[in-house]
A and B are shown apart, each in its own frame.
Chain A
C-alpha cells in the first residue's frame, strides 16, 4: 500500500515537467529564488567588457536583493580558451543552475559546454558566441548592421558616391558578418563604389592610423561605413589630411557621440546615425537564463536588436554614457520577457530603453 503511494508520487513528479512543458508559452512560474547564475567571461581588458561586467553586476545584484535568484558569481579568463574551459568545469562542479558565457572561442569551449548541459545546467552564450548546439544563444545580427549602414549611406548620398569601409579585427565572425552586410547592402546601388577598406580593429587610434595611411591614394570620399569604436579616429584622419569631413557612421562610443554633437552644432548640421552592440547585452543574457530556469518557453536563439541612436535622442544618450565608455541601457526582466515573446512570434523587438543618466 505504502509502496503504491510512493510509486504514484514518483509518477506525478515524473509527469510534472511534461505538464509544465505543455503550459502556455510565457508561463514562467517555477521559482528561481534558490538558484544561482554564474558568468564566465573570456576577457575583461577593454572598456566594452568592463561595462558589460558592470551591467551584469547591476542586473544580478538587483535580482539577488529582490529575491529572484539566490546568488551570482563572475569568473574572468585571460583570453585563453583552455583556461575558460577549466573555469566552466569548476562552475559545473560548484553546482550553479545556469552558466552564462562570453566565449573566448566559437568552438574551443564546445566540449565543456556539452559536459555542463549533460549535468542539467542551463548554458546561455552571448556576445562572443560558442557553437555548441545545447547552449542558448543571445545573438546580434551583424549582417543586418552592415545592411542598415549601407541603406542609410545610399539614401543620404542619393545612390551615388565613393565609400570607405573601416573594418574590425580580421578573422572574427563579427567583422565578417558586418562586412558581408555592407557588401550585400551596396550591391543594389550601381553608382556607389567601395573605394577601399582598412582594418581599424574597433580602436580609435588604429582606425586613425590606418585611414591616414590610405587617404592619399583615394579620390574624394563621400561616406565612411564603420563598425563602432572607429568613427572618431576616422574623423581625426580626415581632419589631419585637410580633407572635407565625409558622412561617418558612428558607433555609440562617448567620443563619437560628442564629436557628432560638435559637428551637428556647426552650420548645416551633420546628419548621420550611430549603432553598435550594447554592453548591457549581459543583462539580457542574465534574464534569459533566469527565464529558462523559471520554466518559460525560450527559443534556442534569442535575437537582440542593435542599439541604434538617432539624432533626436543624441542629447539624452550623451548624458547617459560615461566618459570613455560605450552607450548602453540596463535591460530589465520585463524588457527581456518582451524580447523573448517577440522572438517567439517573429514580431518586431521592443524599443531600446534610454536611461536617465549613467546607469
Chain B
C-alpha cells in the first residue's frame, strides 16, 4: 500500500514538477513582456516549439524502449532538404522518399533488435548518413517548399495560436495512444520488462519497429514544420534538435532506463527548453549563457529526481 502510494506520488511529481516550472516561466515572461500575451505575440514566442515538440515525441518513442536516438537532428535536416526540393518539384517522389525515411527508421529499429546492437552507435552512424543524404539533395542552402507548407504553418486557427493548439493535440494523442491502449502498455513494457512481454506472446521485434516507425513519422512532421517556418532548405539546420529532444524527454519526466516516459511531460519539456532562451533574452542576460542554462536545467531536474527517490526509499 505504502509503495503504491509512493509510486503514485512519484508519477504526479513526474509531470507536476515540469508543469509548475512551465507555468512559472510563462508567468515571468508575460509579466516582463506583456506583448507576448497577444495572439501574435504567442505565435512569435512559440513558433519554434512546433518542430521541437515533434522531435521530442520522436525521441520519446525511442527512449520508451530504453534506446536513444542521436540522429534525430540531422534527420530533421534531411527532411528539410527533401521538402525544399523534391516535394515542391516532384510531389509524388517527395512523398515517396519521406515514406521511405519512415521505413528506414523502422528498419533501423529491426537492426538494433536483431543484431543486439547498442542504439547509441547505430543512430550516431545513421546521423552521418542523414547528413550526407541531405548534402546530396541540397549541397548549398536554398530551395523552396511547396507553397501549401508555409501557408499551413502561418495558419491562424480561431482562439488558440497554432503552436499552442498543436502542442495540446499532440500531448492528448500521445497520452491516449501510449498510456491508455493495451498495445501502448505492451510498447512501454518492451522498455521496462521485455522478458515479461515476450512471455505473453507479443513480438519484441514488431514492437521496436513500430516505435521506431513512429519516431521516423514524428521526425518527418518535425522536419516539415521546420521547413514551413524557415521557408527554405539547409543541410545543417536541424543539428541542435538532437540535444533539445533528449533534454525535453528527460525534463518532462522520462527516464533513460526505458518504459518510463510521459507524452504530456515531453511536450512540456520541449516548451521549457525553448522558453529558457526567450526568458534569458527578456531578462537581458547574455545569450552566451543559454547552452549552460539548458544543461543546468537538465542537471537540476535529474538532481531533484534523485533526491526524491532517495527520500522516498
Contacts and interface: CB of A to CB of B under 8 A. Distances in A.
A92 B284 contact: no
Interface residues of B, number: 42
Contact of A107 (B232, B238, B241): B232
B45 A81 contact: no
Contact of A93 (B33, B48, B141, B231): B33
Interface string B284-312: 10111011000000000000000000000
A206 interface: no
A105 B237 contact: yes
The 9 A-B residue pairs with the shortest CB-CB distance in the complex, in nearest-first order: A107-B232, A108-B230, A90-B281, A80-B240, A75-B287, A89-B44, A111-B231, A86-B48, A108-B234
B226 interface: yes
A107 B233 contact: yes
A80 B41 CA distance: 23
Nearest to B226: A82
Interface string B167-181: 000000000000000
B229 A85 contact: yes
B290 A78 contact: yes
A83 interface: yes
Interface residues of A, number: 34
Contact of B288 (A76, A80, A173): A76
B210 interface: no
Interface in A105-120: 105-112, 114-115, 119
A333 interface: no
B91 interface: no
Interface in B131-146: 139-143
A28 B277 CA distance: 36
15 contacts: A75-B287, A78-B240, A82-B226, A86-B277, A87-B277, A89-B48, A90-B278, A107-B141, A107-B142, A108-B237, A110-B230, A110-B231, A111-B150, A111-B229, A173-B140
B47 A90 contact: no
B287 A77 contact: yes
B48 A82 contact: yes
B18 interface: no
